[in-house]
Amino acid sequence: MDRIDFDDEMTDDYIANTGVNLEASEAVIADFLRTLGERPEREGLKNTPKRVARMYAELLSGYHTDPEKIVNGAVFNITYDEMVIVRDIEFYSLCEHHMLPFIGRAHVAYMPAGKVIGLSKIPRLVDLYARRLQVQERMTRQIADQLHQLLQPQGVAVVVEALHLCMMMRGVKKHDARMTTSAMHGAFRTNLATRQEFLDNIGRGAEPLRF
Ligand SMILES: [Zn+2]
């Protein structure tokens, strides 16, 4: 059998852990190609079902990742009560209505109440929810809720800006199909100055989203 270079970083162990049945998935993708009038046997498509099955296992790996494991040991008890902001976190997700990508950036802030989280963990939490079939509103809310649950902070705010390929490639073909969603908890909801400080910060020097 040919050795296929999948050009991804998924080991066999990793795939086994996702719980995805790759063989079943490959068969369905080959059938799907047939329903489109294609011949999955032809040279160019020969390995496509395998590649696509593997790709979805990667793009949708967020179902199988435990947030507690991601955070593992990176929550620290520290007396610090100023706003912590991580902005411009790049993410790639798939809309659950069309299974087409929506791509953008997330801005996450919280006001600690005795607990802080290692900064590198916040982009990983964003990925965990991006790598699912999503709607942007729910993804935004899930990131905020997860952080709220992990840290019990004075407040959490998440703003997500994204471009939706399903609006750009099809239907009305809006080429600037940019959407902004937000979720606010605690101080970001009740204190106007806090919310404004966050919004001013993420607005500063931001480049417009584009592909
Ligand atoms: Zn869509």
Q: Chain-wide mean pLDDT for the chain?
A: 92
Least confident of 10-24, 37-51, 76-90, 148-162: 10-24
Write down all domains in the chain, each with its CATH number in brackets. 12-59 (1.10.286), 65-203 (3.30.1130.10)
Helices (H), the chain: 12-18, 22-35, 48-59, 67-71, 121-130, 136-151, 165-168, 187-190, 192-203
| Residue 14 confidence (pLDDT) above 90 | no
What is the token pair recorded at 95?
């809309």
Where on the phi/psi map is residue 47: left (φ > 0), alpha (ψ -120 to 50), or beta? Answer: alpha
Candidates 90, 109, 122, 125; CA nearest to 207 is 90
pLDDT digits (tens, 9 = 90+) for 30-64: 999 999 999 999 999 999 999 999 999 999 999 88
Task: List, as one string, the DSSP characters of 25-85.
Answer: HHHHHHHHHHHTT--TTSGGGTTHHHHHHHHHHHHTGGGG--HHHHHTT-EEE----S-EE
Which are the contacts of 205, defined by CB distance < 8 A and separation ≥ 6?
none
Distance 177 CA to ligand 1 centre (A): 11
Distance 109 CA to ligand 1 centre (A): 27
pLDDT computed for residue 72 by the predictor: 83
Distance 107 CA to ligand 1 centre (A): 22
Task: Tell me the whole-structure pTM to 2 decimals.
Answer: 0.91
Distance 172 CA to ligand 1 centre (A): 12
pLDDT digits (tens, 9 = 90+) for 99-154: 999 999 999 999 999 999 999 999 999 999 999 999 999 999 999 999 999 999 99
Residues marked active site are found at 95-98, 136, 164, 166
